[in-house]
A and B are shown apart, each in its own frame.
Chain A
Amino acid sequence: GAVVSQHPSRVICKSGTSVKIECRSLDFQATTMFWYRQFPKKSLMLMATSNEGSKATYEQGVEKDKFLINHASLTLSTLTVTSAHPEDSSFYICSARDPYSYEQYFGPGTRLTVT
């Protein structure tokens, strides 16, 4: 299957700082990428849809000013958690959608811990 990379795999930051997570589609050009959040033993919660060259579409209840998404190229989307707080600690996962088959491939995830 296609490869999607995510960096960093884990990050610890202090409350009030910002953290950037990168998601790269290595095998195909992804016009659409997605950002999810996952709590322990729960299913994936879609946060936003990242569209190359345009603004991201956020799900209801997700603060767009807190979770900044940039999709500047067909292979890279970034999620920046601004002014992070302990409640933002979670497992963040990105995915890239094949524009022809609609198959969606996930990255390995980033574990964020805010102290």
Chain B
Amino acid sequence: AQSVTQLGSHVSVSEGALVLLRCNYSSSVPPYLFWYVQYPNQGLQLLLKYTTGATLVKGINGFEAEFKKSETSFHLTKPSAHMSDAAEYFCAVSGHGGSQGNLIFGKGTKLSVKP
């Protein structure tokens, strides 16, 4: 079975500091990996995804993530945090069953940005 572990349910950084949100996955097949962001009272918005090819993936709002197969990791980073980045972030891996569409999510990491 596939699974996702997000290390740290809550991360706090200062504005302008590096953002690092950790995600490790378990998968018996080559994974498709995703990061979603959820602002309060809103649905999920795709930040970036890894399917095949280049392991460093760039997404929206200055975020990027690197797929490291040897470490089974897909950590999310941003060089300089903005106040508007405060939200909850979910890492996800695509599921089995012949469909690569349905997602298995981690429990989420809430990012706080201090002025």
A binds B: no
Interface residues of B (CB under 8 A from A): none
Interface residues of A (CB under 8 A from B): none
